[in-house]
Structure 1
Amino acid sequence: MKYVKKSKRFINTSYQIGMKEGNILQGNIYKSVLSVLNVTPMDGGKKMSRKGISGIGVLIIFIAMILVAAVAAMVLLQTVSSLEGQALATGKQAKGEVSSKFQVQSVVGEANVSNNSIVYLRISLKVAPGSPDFILNRTLLSYQTEHVIRTGIKYVKTPEGNNTAEGARNTVKGRTDVYTVVWLNKDANMSQAQKSAVMPEEIVEAWYYAKDLGPYDRVSLAITPNVGTVSRVYFTVPSVITKDVVPLFP
C-alpha cells in the first residue's frame, strides 16, 4: 500500500512539473510572436507599449515618404514633357529658319533699246528644297544701286485673269514701291486665292519696275521672307543694250 501511495505521489509530482514546463513553452511561443510583430505584452490590459506605437509611427513615415516620392516623380515627368515640347517647337522653328529660302534661277531685264536702259526686272524664282510654302504678302523685296536704295517693297497681285507678262507689266508700271508675281506653270485665269503663296513645286517670275537702269550700273536684289534666309543676287548692267530682253544673271 505504501508503494502504491508513493507511486501516486510521484505521478502527481510529475504531472505538475509537466504542466509547469508546458506553461513555460507556451509563454515562450507567445513572446516570440509578439517579438515578430514588434509588440510587447499588454500591461494589465491597458494600452500598447511605446515600442509598438513607435513601430506604427515608422510605418506611417515610410508610407508618407512613398507618397512624397510619387508626387515628386509626377512633377518631374510633367516638367520633362514640357521641356521636350519646347525643344521640339524650337527645333522646328530653327529648321524653318534655316531651310526657308527662295532660289533665284535667273534675272532678265526688259529694255528700252532707244534709251539704252533697263525698265523692268524679271526675277525667276523657285522655292528651295525643304522649304514650306512662301506667303507672298509676308515676303519683301529690296533693290539697291549706286544711286538709289529701296527697301520694304511689298507684293501686289495681278488683276483677275491676268497671270501674264502683260498683266504683270501693267500692275507695276510706274510704281517702285511694289512688285508682282507671275506663275509660269499656271494658266492666265488662275484664281486670286492661288496668288497668295508659292508652293515648292511652282516656278514664278517676280516683276519689278526699275525705271532707268543704265550701262555699268551695279544692282543688288534681296528677297526677305517672314521666316527664313534672305536670298541675294548681284549683277551689272551690260555696257551696250541692243535687245528688248537682256540677260543679267547668272
Structure 2
Amino acid sequence: MNLEHFSFLKNKKGAMGIGTLIIFIAMVLVAAVAASVLINTSGFLQQKASSTGKESTEQVASGIQILQISGMHNTTHMNNSAIYVTPNAGSSAIDLSQSIIILASGTSERTISYNISKAQSYDSITTGGSVFGSPVWDNLTSKDFGIIVIVDSDGSCQNITPVINKGDLVVLALNTADMDMTPRTIVTGLVRPEFGAPGVISYMTPATYINDVTVVRLQ
C-alpha cells in the first residue's frame, strides 16, 4: 500500500468518527428533550391528580345536615318554616349565600336563595330564644330565605359572608305563606350547598292545625 492510499484511509476513518460523534450527540440531545418532556408531564399529572383527589374528597365529605324543621301556622296554613342546619361531620366550610333551597308542596314549587342585599335577612339569637320572634320573617318573600344564627363560635356566619363550619348551627327561615301548606300536604325538597351532599326535606304537614299550638315540628 502506497502512501497515498494510507492517507486516504486515515482521512476516511476520521470522517466516520465525526459522523458517529454527531449521531451520538444528537441521540443524547433527543434523550434529554424526551426526559424533560416526561418529567414535566409527570409533574403536571401528579399535581392534577392531587387537585382532583382533594376536590373529590371535599365533594364526598362535605354537605349540609338538616337537624330539624319546624313551622308556624295561622290555624289554616303553614306560614313560616324554620330549617335547622349544620355542616356534615368532616365537611369543609359552606357558604350559604351560594346555596339554594328547592321546595315542592302539593301544587306549588319554589327555588329559594339567600338575598344578601336585604338588611333584615340575617339575625342572631342566643340559644333558647324563639326563632319565630326574629325580625327576619318580616321582609321575607317566597323567593328568598333568611338566616338566623344560633351557634357560631368563630363568627364565620355574617350577613355578607354567611359561612358555616364545624359546630355551627343556623336556621334557614322560609316564608311559605303562598305555597300549598294546608293540612296533610306532602312537602319534599333539598337544601343544596355549593358543593357536597344536600340536606333532604321530606315531611307531611299535620292532619289539623290546633289553635293553641301554633308552632309544630315537621321533620
How high is the TM-score relative to the length of structure 2? 0.80
Would the alpha carbon gap of residues 61 and 44 (structure 1) be closer, same or farther in structure 2, given more than 3 Å must change? same
Query: In the alignment, which residue of structure 1 is the partner of 2:173?
Result: 207
Query: In the alignment, which residue of structure 2 is the partner of 1:60?
Result: 22
**What is the identity, as a one-letter code, of the residue corresponding to 1:245?**
V
Q: Matches of residues 114-193 of structure 1 in structure 2 within 5 Å?
A: 115-151=75-111, 153-156=112-115, 159=120, 162-164=123-125, 165=131, 166-172=134-140, 175-186=141-152, 192=158
Greater share of residues in helix:
1
Would the alpha carbon gap of residues 73 and 126 (structure 1) be closer, same or farther in structure 2, given more than 3 Å must change? same
**What is the identity, as a one-letter code, of the residue corresponding to 2:207?**
S
How far apart are the structure 2 equivalents of 1:160 and 1:123?
Answer: 15
Task: Give CA deviations for 1:20-50 in whole Å, capped at 9, x if unaligned.
Answer: xxxxxxxxxxxxxxxxxxxxxx859967431
Query: In the alignment, which residue of structure 2 is the partner of 1:17?
Result: none
SS of the equivalent of 2:151 reads: coil
Quote how far apart the aligned CAs of 1:218 are.
0.6
Q: Matches of residues 103-114 of structure 1 in structure 2 within 5 Å?
A: 103-112=65-74
Q: Is 2:207 aligned against 1:246? A: no
Q: Is 2:197 aligned against 1:229? A: yes
Quote how far apart the aligned CAs of 1:61 are.
1.4
Quote how far apart the aligned CAs of 1:67 are.
1.8
Structure label with greater radius of gyration: 1
SS of the equivalent of 2:176 reads: strand
Query: In the alignment, which residue of structure 2 is the partner of 1:218?
Result: 186
Q: Is 2:50 aligned against 1:88? A: yes
Q: Which has the higher contact order (CA 8 A, sep 6+)?
A: 2
Percent identity for Structure 1 against Structure 2: 25
How far apart are the structure 1 equivalents of 2:184 and 2:110?
Answer: 19
Query: In the alignment, which residue of structure 2 is the partner of 1:97?
Result: 59
Quote how far apart the aligned CAs of 1:131 are.
1.9
Gaps of 5+ in 1: 1-41
How far apart are the structure 1 equivalents of 2:174 and 2:159?
Answer: 21
